[in-house]
């Protein structure tokens, strides 16, 4: 294990932020700490980095108890949401900072920095200052800076949170490819379930200061531990006392065994898919259909239909 | 410049052949007229308040030819007074640079009871008439000092008086910059292996330096011109504690206007050179950062 967090508790004043957190991060993995804001995921990351001290519990990095080590002795790379670029230093000097602190010879620093700038596609920007870079470029610079010291683990705190949607998507898949090249154990914090599923090979889901579920993205998506996990990872709706994904609902005009009767209240066309809003008795629900299927059924407000979870679909029974 | 200022509303209905073109040019013309008025006002105001009086001083000082000017500023008394003024001001500026930054740091980064009161007290030297400050200092550090510290009629008394009136400059220029400083930078430096001192020297200090320098420049400029707070405690002993501004007053009182203006001109040049040098240092720093 690259990181072992054991029974960590942390309070801010009287508010508990982390409650008995135990998490293992395997070496070489790309792990997402996922959860709603205020769930404690950033605090956990900062505890691992040594930027916050836990009230109780231990943090072991690469087999060494790091709980009482200061951040500068942990050899972790940390990437901040708002880049934390050294504004007064050039891109080159930013990336070189950690190596200069370690008093490496100049020619060695130069070679290593240029190699890293190439890795993050900033080799032509070495002499620029952070103020002259776009957000995405600044974050790539921050990543190169964190990687320069060959950290045992790389920690990223909402690394794409401050970027616009387009750049965010690009950097996501780029981070995935980078990790496949560099193989450094990486933990990143995100509140975006899509980002976690796309980038990570392991997800730790945190809510309310507790670990709710740990597993690979599809394990968590397909076998959510509870109602909360299921609704956090994607849209859900309720039919017949079950929580179901709206694309897992079968809609037909004729009654079938196990199906519930519903009335179509609205049909919304969203590009290639159609969202059908339904009224089941007093309750509201919705289903996602392909456009062709919806046209074939001829759905319109007022149509009486029969709905049921598709065979093999994940349906969590929920109390009414 | 022709000032045909068209209200934006009147220009809005553009002809069908030239959509949008008319309002844009009208807007631009209006904008330029606005700039001209602003620029003109600023220049006239600056000229009336600063440039013309300064020119008058220089003209008065140099009016009787370079020979007289040189003689006026190289009398033993003028030389000693100028050296004391510039020397004491430099000392005061350097002390302010260090201690003002320290005070700003404590006010921003530390929390202690009564912090708000201390923060308010910093501005007191600005609010107090300097002659009152001089009186207070003379009472505290004069011959009848309740503290047993007598600085009256000594050069150290001049320095203390100057320190008192220049205290706010560095504190108030550094404080907002320190407040705005991105704390993540320090944590990033720590995670890259830098200790607190290295982080301060390599990360915090370079970001504070421009503010520290401009605060110091203001403090220096204020110190060489200070009159009220020093006149009482210094005792105005020629060759010992007489500062330039006091010497200028005594020259005027003995009806030597040209001599007074000559010394004033030297102060002006020193202030200008110092301000320009510090500005150049700052620009050089800004280009790098």
Q: What is the pLDDT of residue B162?
A: 94
Tell me the three state secondary structure of residue B84. Answer: helix
Collect all residues of chain B within an 8 Å Cβ-Cβ radius of residue A82: 182, 184
List, in sequence order, every beta strand (DSSP E) within chain A.
3-12, 15-25, 30-34, 56-61, 64-65, 76-79, 153-157, 185-190, 202-207, 210-215, 237-239, 242-244, 249-252, 260-270, 273-280, 283-290, 304-309, 315-317
Residue A23 bridge partners (DSSP): A5
Average pLDDT over residues A215-233: 92
CA distance B104 to A2: 42
Collect all residues of chain A within an 8 Å Cβ-Cβ radius of residue B202: 97
CA distance B250 to B238: 11
Q: What is the pLDDT of residue B288?
A: 55
How many contacts, defined by CB atoms under 8 Å, are there between A and B? 69
Average pLDDT over residues A226-236: 91
Say yes or no: A53 contacts chain B, CB-CB below 8 A: no
CA distance A203 to A94: 31
Q: What is the pLDDT of residue B16?
A: 40
Exposure string of B223-244, with b = 16+ CB inside 10 Å and e = fewer, is: bbbbebbbbbbbbbeeeebbbb
The ipTM estimated for the assembled molecules is 0.85
CATH topology of domain B65-288: MetI-like fold (1.10.3720)
Which pLDDT tens digit goes with each residue over B174-230? 999 999 999 999 999 999 999 999 999 999 999 999 899 999 999 999 999 888 888
Collect all residues of chain A within an 8 Å Cβ-Cβ radius of residue B198: 101
Collect all residues of chain A within an 8 Å Cβ-Cβ radius of residue B288: 88
- Name the residue of chain A whose CA is nearest to B184's CA: A84
Instruction: Please check the confidence at residue B17 and state whether its pLDDT lies above 60.
Output: no
- At residue A208's C-alpha, the angle toward residues A205 and A212, to 5°, is 30
Average pLDDT over residues A261-268: 92
CA distance B289 to B283: 10
Collect all residues of chain A within an 8 Å Cβ-Cβ radius of residue B195: 72
CA distance A27 to A63: 11
What's the full length of chain A, in residues?
320
Using the structure block, give the residue that is written with the tokens 């154990």: A185
- The answer to whether the CB atoms of B195 and A49 lie below 8 A apart is no
Q: What is the pLDDT of residue A85?
A: 95
Q: Where are the alpha helices (DSSP H) in chain A?
A: 41-49, 91-101, 106-119, 135-148, 165-182, 193-199, 217-222, 227-233, 291-297
- In the stretch 176-205 of chain B, residues with CB closer than 8 A to chain A read 182, 184-185, 187-195, 198, 202-203
Say yes or no: A283 contacts chain B, CB-CB below 8 A: no
What's the full length of chain B, in residues?
289
- The answer to whether the CB atoms of A101 and B185 lie below 8 A apart is no
- The answer to whether the CB atoms of B192 and A101 lie below 8 A apart is yes
- The answer to whether the CB atoms of B185 and A86 lie below 8 A apart is yes
Give the residue from A136, A128, A47, A149 showing the smallest Cα distance to A86: A128
In the predicted model, what is the mean pLDDT of chain B? 84
Residues 6+ apart with CB under 8 A from A297: A251, A252, A253, A289, A303, A305
Give the residue from A251, A310, A314 showing the smallest Cα distance to A280: A251
- In the stretch 77-106 of chain A, residues with CB closer than 8 A to chain B read 77-78, 80, 82-89, 97-98, 101-102
Which pLDDT tens digit goes with each residue over A95-112? 999 999 999 999 999 999
Which pLDDT tens digit goes with each residue over A50-86? 999 999 999 999 999 999 999 999 999 999 999 999 9
- At residue B244's C-alpha, the angle toward residues B243 and B245, to 5°, is 100
User: Among A51, A77, A101, whose Cβ lies nearest the Cβ of B194?
Assistant: A101
Q: Domain limits of chain B?
A: 25-62, 65-288
Range scoring the smallest mean pLDDT among A97-111, A183-197, B257-271? B257-271
User: Nearest 5°: phi and psi at B59?
Assistant: -65, -45
Instruction: Please check the confidence at residue A28 and state whether its pLDDT lies above 60.
Output: yes
Task: Give the pairing of strands A56-61 and A64-65.
Answer: antiparallel
CA distance A58 to B169: 47
Residues 6+ apart with CB under 8 A from B200: none
Residues 6+ apart with CB under 8 A from B89: B162, B220, B223, B224
CA distance A237 to chain B (A): 41
pLDDT category at A210 given cuts 50, 70, 90 is very high
- Name the residue of chain B whose CA is nearest to A146's CA: B192
Using the structure block, give the residue that is written with the tokens 């065994």: A257
- Name the residue of chain B whose CA is nearest to A76's CA: B191
Say yes or no: A163 contacts chain B, CB-CB below 8 A: no
């Amino acid at each position: 294990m690259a990181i072992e967090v054991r029974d960590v508790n942390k309070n801010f004043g009287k508010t508990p932020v982390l409650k008995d957190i135990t998490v293992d991060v395997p070496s070489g993995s790309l792990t997402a700490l996922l959860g709603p804001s205020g769930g404690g995921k950033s605090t956990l990351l900062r505890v691992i980095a040594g930027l916050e001290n836990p009230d109780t519990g231990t943090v072991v990095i690469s087999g060494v108890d790091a709980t009482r080590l200061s951040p500068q002795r942990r050899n972790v790379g940390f990437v901040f949401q708002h880049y934390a670029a050294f504004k007064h230093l050039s891109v080159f000097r930013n990336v070189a900072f950690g190596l200069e602190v370690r008093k490496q010879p100049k020619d060695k620093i130069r070679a290593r920095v240029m190699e890293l700038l190439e890795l993050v596609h900033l080799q032509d920007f070495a002499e620029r200052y952070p103020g002259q870079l776009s957000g995405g470029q600044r974050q790539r610079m921050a990543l190169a800076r964190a990687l320069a010291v060959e950290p045992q683990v790389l920690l990223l705190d909402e690394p794409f949170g401050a970027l616009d949607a387009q750049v965010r998507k690009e950097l996501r898949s780029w981070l995935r490819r980078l990790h496949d090249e560099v193989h450094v154990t990486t933990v990143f914090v995100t509140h975006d379930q899509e980002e976690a599923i796309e980038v990570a090979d392991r997800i730790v889901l945190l809510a309310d200061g507790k670990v709710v579920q740990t597993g690979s993205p599809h394990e968590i998506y397909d076998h959510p531990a509870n109602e909360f996990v299921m609704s956090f990872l994607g849209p859900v709706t309720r039919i017949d006392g079950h929580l179901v994904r709206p694309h897992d609902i079968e809609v037909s005009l004729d009654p079938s065994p196990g199906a519930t009767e519903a009335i179509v209240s609205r049909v919304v066309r969203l590009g290639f898919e159609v969202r059908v809003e339904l009224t089941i008795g007093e309750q509201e629900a919705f289903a996602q259909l392909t456009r062709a299927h919806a046209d074939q059924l001829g759905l319109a407000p007022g149509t009486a239909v029969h709905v049921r979870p598709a065979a093999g679909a994940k349906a969590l029974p929920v109390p009414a | 410049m022709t000032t045909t200022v068209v209200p934006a509303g009147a220009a809005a209905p553009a002809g069908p052949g030239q959509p949008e073109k008319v309002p844009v040019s009208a807007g631009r013309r209006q904008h330029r007229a606005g700039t001209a008025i602003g620029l003109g006002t600023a220049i006239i105001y600056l000229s009336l308040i600063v440039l013309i009086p300064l020119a008058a001083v220089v003209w008065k000082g140099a009016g009787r030819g370079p020979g007289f000017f040189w003689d006026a500023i190289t009398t033993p008394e003028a030389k000693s007074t100028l050296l004391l003024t510039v020397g004491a001001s430099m000392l005061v500026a350097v002390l302010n640079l260090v201690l003002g930054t320290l005070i700003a740091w404590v006010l921003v980064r530390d929390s202690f009871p009564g912090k708000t009161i201390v923060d308010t007290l910093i501005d007191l030297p600005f609010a107090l008439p300097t002659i009152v400050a001089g009186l207070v200092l003379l009472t505290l550090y004069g011959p009848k000092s309740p503290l047993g510290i007598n600085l009256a009629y000594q050069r150290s008394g001049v320095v203390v008086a100057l320190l008192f009136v220049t205290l706010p400059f560095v504190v108030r220029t550094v404080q907002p910059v320190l407040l705005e400083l991105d704390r993540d930078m320090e944590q990033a430096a720590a995670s890259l292996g830098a200790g607190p001192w290295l982080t301060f020297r390599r990360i915090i200090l370079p970001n504070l330096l421009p503010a520290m320098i401009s605060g110091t420049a203001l403090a220096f400029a204020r110190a060489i011109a200070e009159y009220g707070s020093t006149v009482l405690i210094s005792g105005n002993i020629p060759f010992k504690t007489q500062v330039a501004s006091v010497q200028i007053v005594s020259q005027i009182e003995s009806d030597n206007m040209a001599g007074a203006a000559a010394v004033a001109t030297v102060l002006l040049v020193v202030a200008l050179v110092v301000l320009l040098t510090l500005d150049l240092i700052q620009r050089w720093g800004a280009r790098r950062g």
